[in-house]
Amino acid sequence: MEDIDEQVENEVYREDEDPQEVLENFIKAGKITADVAASSKSLIIEGESILDIAETIEKMIVDAGARPGFPATISINDYAAHYAPESGCETLIGPKDVVKVDLGVEIDGCIGDTAYTIDLSDENGKLLDASRSALMDAVAAMKPGVTNGRIGEIIETKIKSYGFRPISNLTGHMIKRYLLHAGVSIPNVASDQKYELQEGDIFAIEPFATNGAGHVSDTNQVEIFSLIEPRNVRMRESKRLIAYIIQNYFTLPFAERWLAKDFKSRLALNASLRELLNFGVIQGYPALREAEKGLVSQFEYTVVIEHDGARILTDYKMD
């Protein structure tokens, strides 16, 4: 596995990469992300299959000349994030659902990440306004020298002003090439975190508002995975799966259903995924549910920090 380890290390931390070229790819990915997000809103209708929605969004990304940066997730009502429909999922959108759609676009490892919420009941407009307004206030405050803790305070203050709670254990995140979560977070509550934003930093900002407890818990639904590091494993099919992940997804998240076309035996695939999880080769992302089953809204932009503020890379009309 040493050659694969070196490949991962060299690709993520390339010394010869051109920062301007990388930024241009983030800009291109952001534009496609915004276009797909805007177009995909029409898919969120009563009776529609969430599996069909996710696969249609992913196809729209491919048709635009890019790749999904991660599996499209459709999180409904008290599910806050990471709900990626599995193969054969029969869940349909209900007439009063609060639906969160989170999607990403990748170009040469550079990712645009965005999310929006649609309330089919038309009864939770204030909840949606809370997270959307918090997002806009956060973006307006972002510039070099401002701390991530301060941005969290701004988000919390805005959401509470609407009478709701921010979700304290979900955060925005820095993005780097091939690293969707690159170490620095943007909290949704006030904190003493003191990372100072720097020109050129790229962040996904995603305030979550809820009428519940204000935190989420893991569920047993796990359909999204990503590579941590290659290791020696026992089963031949698991070794094949490691090579496949590196070749097709590298360090970026992928869905179990994406593997089905090349791994025909579901039993063998599940066994391999379990082994890779047990050996620490991959990590899983459980669907996250609000602790008191409160409704959750989410809006998200990807931004780049410039000398005098933040530029939105995934800009589209969220209303």
The per-residue pLDDT for 2 is: 44
Q: What pLDDT, in 10s, does the model give residues 266-299? A: 999 999 999 999 999 999 999 999 999 999 999 9
Collapsing DSSP states into helix, strand and coil, what is residue 41? helix
CA distance linking residue 107 with residue 215, whole number of Å: 33
Do residues 182 and 259 share a domain?
no
Do residues 120 and 265 share a domain?
no
- CATH number of the CATH domain containing 240: 1.10.10.10
Q: Name the pLDDT band for 104 (thresholds 50, 70, 90).
A: very high
Q: What pLDDT, in 10s, does the model give residues 174-211? A: 999 999 999 899 999 999 999 999 999 999 999 999 99
pTM for the full predicted model? 0.94
Question: 10 Å Cβ neighbour count for 283?
Answer: 14
Average pLDDT over residues 91-116: 98
CA distance linking residue 88 with residue 256, whole number of Å: 12
Domain contains 263: yes
Do residues 100 and 211 share a domain?
yes
Do residues 70 and 182 share a domain?
yes
The per-residue pLDDT for 9 is: 58
Judged against a pLDDT cut of 80, whether residue 17 lies above it is answered with no
Domain contains 174: yes
Do residues 127 and 175 share a domain?
yes
Domain contains 30: yes
Domain contains 9: no
- CATH number of the CATH domain containing 160: 3.90.230.10
Domain contains 184: yes
Do residues 231 and 254 share a domain?
yes
Domain contains 165: yes
Average pLDDT over residues 10-38: 86
Judged against a pLDDT cut of 50, whether residue 131 lies above it is answered with yes
Do residues 172 and 49 share a domain?
yes
Q: What percent of the chain has pLDDT over 70?
A: 95
Do residues 210 and 228 share a domain?
no
Do residues 37 and 106 share a domain?
yes
Would you say 102 and 73 are in contact if contact means Cβ atoms under 8 Å apart?
yes
Average pLDDT over residues 83-91: 95
Do residues 228 and 254 share a domain?
yes
Q: Which residues are catalytic?
A: 102, 113, 173, 181, 206, 300
Domain contains 245: yes
Joined tokens for residue 313: 């890379």
Domain contains 2: no
> How many structural domains compose the chain?
2
CA distance linking residue 79 with residue 296, whole number of Å: 7
Top pLDDT among 223 and 261 is at 223
Q: Name the pLDDT band for 1 (thresholds 50, 70, 90).
A: very low
The per-residue pLDDT for 8 is: 55
Residue 15: Cβ-neighbour burial (10 angstroms; 0-12, 13-18, 19+): exposed
Do residues 195 and 170 share a domain?
yes
Q: What percent of the chain has pLDDT over 90?
A: 92
Do residues 209 and 228 share a domain?
no
The per-residue pLDDT for 18 is: 87
Question: Which structural domain range is residue 140 located in?
Answer: 16-220+291-312
- Mean residue pLDDT of the chain comes to 94
